[in-house]
Amino acid sequence: MTTSFTDDGPFPPSALGENAAGRLSDAQRKRFSGMSRGLRKGELSFAAIAVIIGALVAFASGPAKDATVKPIIGLVCLAIAAILVVRALGGGDKITQDVRAGRVESIDGAIAKHVIHTDSSGSSSELHYLDVGGRRFHTGASGYEIAPDAGYVRLFYLPRSQRVVNLQIIPGPATPDLTPASLQTVLENVATGSHGRGEVGRAEARAQMASMVTKFTSQVEGAPVPPRADQLDQRPLTEAIIGTWSSPLMTVSFAPDGTATQTIAMTGKQTSGRWSVDAQGQLHAGLGGQDESANAWISGDTLTISMGGMSLAFQRQAPSPPTNGQAQRFTCFAVRMLATAFSRRVSGSVPASTAATSAAAVVAVSEATCDAAAVYSTMSAPAVIDATTALGTE
95-127 core/surface letters (b: 16 or more CB in 10 A; e: else): bbebbeeeebebeebbbbbeeeeeeeeeeeeee
- pLDDT of the residue at 154: 96
| Mean pLDDT score, 373-386 | 42
Residues 384 and 210 sit within 8 Å (Cβ to Cβ): yes
229-340 has CATH 1.10.1760.20 classification: no
Check pLDDT > 60 for residue 288.
no
Q: Between 8 and 338, where is the model more confident?
A: 8
| pLDDT band per the 50, 70, 90 thresholds, residue 191 | low
Alpha helix stretches (DSSP H) within the chain: 16-20, 26-59, 69-90, 94-101, 141-146, 180-192, 198-220, 237-240, 335-347, 355-366, 372-378, 381-393
Give the span between the Cα atoms of 223 and 376, in whole angstroms.
Answer: 17
- pLDDT of the residue at 219: 65
State the average pLDDT for the chain.
75
- pLDDT of the residue at 13: 94
Q: Between 17 and 264, where is the model more confident?
A: 17
pTM of the model: 0.58
Check pLDDT > 70 for residue 357.
no
| pLDDT band per the 50, 70, 90 thresholds, residue 194 | low
Question: What are the residue boundaries of the structural domains of the chain, listed by start?
Answer: 24-101, 105-169, 229-340
Give the span between the Cα atoms of 170 and 158, in whole angstroms.
Answer: 20
| Mean pLDDT score, 98-127 | 88
- pLDDT of the residue at 258: 92
Q: How far is CA 10 from CA 16, 164, 169, 374, in A?
A: 12, 9, 14, 34
Most confident residue range from 5-19, 61-75, 282-296, 325-339: 5-19
- pLDDT of the residue at 195: 53
- Residue 90: CB atoms within 10 A of its CB come to 10
| pLDDT band per the 50, 70, 90 thresholds, residue 165 | very high
* Listed residue (96, 202, 110, 117) closest to 147, CA to CA: 110
| pLDDT band per the 50, 70, 90 thresholds, residue 179 | low
| pLDDT band per the 50, 70, 90 thresholds, residue 196 | low
| Mean pLDDT score, 248-273 | 84
| Mean pLDDT score, 303-309 | 83
| pLDDT band per the 50, 70, 90 thresholds, residue 220 | low
Q: Between 258 and 341, where is the model more confident?
A: 258
